[in-house]
Structure 1
Amino acid sequence: MTAHGKVQEVYERLSKDDATKPDVVIGADTMVTMDGQMYGKPKTPEHAFEVLQMLMGRTHVVYTGVVIKYGEKEVKFTESCKVKFGKATPAQIQAYVDTGEPLDKAGGYGIQGLGGNFVESIEGDYFTVVGLPMYRLSVALCNLFDYHIE
């Protein structure tokens, strides 16, 4: 499900009852891209291993799309960050896959968890890779509520 789909689903579910109708709903979705291919969450441990092995020693781009719904208004934006992985042995990759962490992370790794051990460098916002670009979100919320940041 995309960030927009997540926001719509949550807003509709919570709006069924005026007591729980949300003022603001924020959704985000993250994808990893390399060589023209997009990688979301791996479907199996084997798939996670394949994706991670392919990322080793190379640079990929992480995109996080964010949607903010405030009443009838919607704000959408996308941020990107380049991530370079160092090298790892198949045994190291398998040990990481065996933790289960890769299965709910785009590209099969969590930079904020054990997957961060594979990251040699990043070019861009760390929180974009985590899955919620905080600075850009803060600016968007301030602008949405007419508290503009110069």
Structure 2
Amino acid sequence: MYRLTPGLELILASASPRRRELLGRIGLEFAVAPAHVDETTAPGETAQQAAQRLAQAKALATPAGPGQVVLAADTLVTIDGVILGKPADQAQAVAMLERLNGREHQVVTGFHLRLPGGQRGGLGLSNVRFRRLAPAEIAAYVRSGEPMGKAGAYAVQGLGAALVEAVSGSYTNVVGLPLAAVVKLLLELGLIAPNAEERP
């Protein structure tokens, strides 16, 4: 559906298979170079501030040469003013899911573009509501292993879909990348264009 502007290369600074899938789904070709940064949030930092700062840090930590554009992102879950990152163990995953149980929370994804001539960033915000879960459901979901490595201890595109009652805002933001916002920025900057050569 889209193609990179000739002469440009796109680098995705993420190990997330979900972000790779989202970008690949719209036809973009890109290299993958996961960035390794300290994802600890700073005291007093909001989820929006942390997500944008971490996305920028990942973009800047990724080597890039002339003609290369780096895209990085960071997703956080927040509820009651508390930021929920990735659970360190199963007990922490259970605690996170119990906190989200039957309630609405916000998913925040910061994204950042490192360009040959500068930087640009953006933010995706979505509200997600969990249905009321029985303790046995939470235990079974944690035993599946899926919550590990996921912000807020769930994956809306996986087994976690059974936990989510409603999503308000960008669904792909909850998956890990607000795709419409990212594509809009890439188009505005002239980095991509619709691929008119494609055939149905």
TM-score normalised by the chain length of structure 1:
0.88
- 2:179 aligns with one of 107, 121, 134: 134
Q: Could you say which residue in structure 2 is the equivalent of 1:56?
A: 101
Aligned-partner Cα distance in 2 for 1:113–1:103: 13
Q: Which moved more, 1:27-36 or 1:69-78?
A: 69-78
Q: Could you say which residue in structure 1 is the equivalent of 2:148?
A: 103
Aligned-partner Cα distance in 2 for 1:146–1:95: 44
Q: Is structure 2 residue 79 aligned with structure 1 residue 34?
A: yes
Aligned-partner Cα distance in 1 for 2:191–2:145: 42
- % of aligned pairs identical? 38
- 1:5 aligns with one of 37, 57, 74: 57
Aligned-partner Cα distance in 1 for 2:163–2:70: 33
Q: CA 1:141–1:50 in structure 2 vs 1: closer, same or farther (change >3 Å)?
A: same
**Shift, 1:72, TM fit:** 3.1
| AA partner of residue 133 (structure 1) | P
Aligned-partner Cα distance in 2 for 1:106–1:22: 32
**Shift, 1:104, TM fit:** 0.9
Aligned-partner Cα distance in 2 for 1:93–1:8: 37
Q: CA 1:147–1:104 in structure 2 vs 1: closer, same or farther (change >3 Å)?
A: closer
Instruction: Tell me the secondary structure at the aligned position of residue 132 of structure 2.
Output: coil
Looking at secondary structure, tell me which structure has more helix per residue.
Answer: 1
Q: CA 1:98–1:78 in structure 2 vs 1: closer, same or farther (change >3 Å)?
A: same
Instruction: Tell me the secondary structure at the aligned position of residue 103 of structure 1.
Output: coil
**Shift, 1:147, TM fit:** 7.2
Query: Which consecutive segments of 4 or more residues in structure 1 shift more than 3 A?
Result: none
- 1:87 aligns with one of 132, 139, 147: 132
Deviation readout 1:54-102 (Å, 9 max, x if unpaired): 1010000100000011113211111100000001111111111111111
